[in-house]
A and B are shown apart, each in its own frame.
Chain A
């Protein structure tokens, strides 16, 4: 089985805190990995390290067998959907302009219409991005992440602040991308039920990795689920 991602002994230290401590795991091509963990568990740091946004880490990260310190070419094979994309509300770009940003080769312009159709937003193509609802904007950013046909999609808690109907649609899109188009997905989420339904692997992160394996093994183990729920509940209480 080809490895999409191999992470070995990844540690990240910030001046006052160890954000990640000796994290190791692998993702096979075609996997759908759900990463769960309370706020401050290091999920964003993990993604930042994987995506070339944070380069001050120990350990190795490989994508498709290649160490990312040696070559940044792997970024072309990745689509990334951030938690909540930040942009000026009146930034003068249409939906098509935004999706085109994800395109590495201008000659593939037909892909833009194709991907907009696939995500049910083709009728929004000439609208300004800032005029759309949160759910529609999210689909635009998924389209941007997919337009260059990546082999791997990374999503950072991408349902924050989005209505239920859009979330359902979003989950069905993810399922289809993974099962029909064989795109490997790494997805961080707070929603345990959704992870249970969608992902075939689960990684449970709280600075260290305290579980990584098949979803069934995680969700059939009441002790693990309870541990996780308590940890995130404590974190939740802490935040309020």
Chain B
């Protein structure tokens, strides 16, 4: 086997975009997992299906409408959830199914799908353009800066809302910020693993990392490392063996989770 594949420029683009998305999903996903919002990424991804359909019908680049529709619907559902006291899992179910429903109806109205639905459902990381890479890097940089600047607020309100409020942290605003960042992250990441597997990137590396019993920053670093490894190895392996990258990435990260569980069951992780 040669290293020739590392010389292809499409492979460079895929790896750069993949690593950025891996970092982004780990960081944003850690807050979602700890808030028991693991499936929220999935719900946003499904609502982006409606967004893509809107773009196709209106003749606008579908990714832009996917951003708008996903973020707006995620913020609206969060507001509705708080206002009417709906539980988190039920609100996720509402968001998830309404996105698909909107998409299906619009596709029906526009007389069928012209977009490659397969790449939307399962990602198409090897097809990312230079413009896509620039957008992905800019969003990753922007979101990471916001997370670093508001780190205490984000962590504290995730740990205990009531105490965060007593410390003067604007908890509601922080909640909306997390939803907003999750919306941006999900739509950006669809190109990597597609709508159906997006929550794997949000959830699996974080579930593994939490098991190591470390503090917050170390947990985030473990999660990011696992995520980058899965994405890079997944892209390379899938290209070499001509299999789907999305599935390979997710299976590798499940492998790391299984390995972590194996180490944990031997008792090696129970103490610091």
Contacts and interface: CB of A to CB of B under 8 A. Distances in A.
Interface in A78-99: 78, 80, 82, 85-88, 90-94, 96-98
B61 interface: no
B210 A92 contact: yes
A201 interface: no
Contacts of B211: 90
A92 B215 contact: yes
A97 B215 contact: yes
Nearest to B222: A92
Contacts, number: 70
Q: Is the interface of A mostly helix, strand, loop or mixed?
A: loop
A51 interface: yes
Contacts of A88: 34
A70 to B, nearest CB: 14
A72 interface: yes
B210 A75 contact: no
A97 B9 CA distance: 42
Contacts of A104: 167
A53 B214 contact: no
A80 B216 contact: no
Interface stretch (B20-28, B134-142, B156-164, B249-257): B156-164
Interface string A182-200: 0000000000000000000
A128 B272 CA distance: 9
Contacts of A94: 214-216
Interface string B120-157: 00000000000000000000000000000000100110
A82 B216 contact: no
B166 interface: yes
B108 interface: no
A76 interface: yes
Given A53-B166, A127-B272, A92 B216 contact: yes
B215 A52 contact: no
A102 interface: yes
A167 B186 CA distance: 48
B155 A72 contact: no
B165 interface: yes
Contacts of B164: 101
Given A53-B165, A72-B168, A87 B159 contact: yes
Nearest to B209: A92
A126 B272 contact: yes
Nearest to B36: A88
A82 B216 CA distance: 22
Contacts of B156: 101
Interface of B: 34, 152, 155-156, 159-160, 162-168, 209-211, 213-216, 219, 272
Given A52-B168, A97-B155, 18 more contacts: A51-B165, A53-B165, A53-B166, A75-B166, A80-B166, A82-B162, A82-B163, A87-B159, A88-B34, A91-B34, A92-B209, A92-B219, A93-B216, A101-B156, A101-B159, A101-B167, A103-B152, A104-B167
15 contacts: A53-B165, A75-B168, A80-B167, A82-B163, A91-B34, A91-B159, A92-B216, A93-B155, A96-B215, A97-B215, A98-B159, A100-B152, A101-B156, A102-B167, A126-B215
Interface of A: 51-53, 72-73, 75-76, 78, 80, 82, 85-88, 90-94, 96-98, 100-104, 106, 126-128, 131
* 3 nearest A-B residue pairs (beta carbon): A94-B215, A92-B219, A75-B168
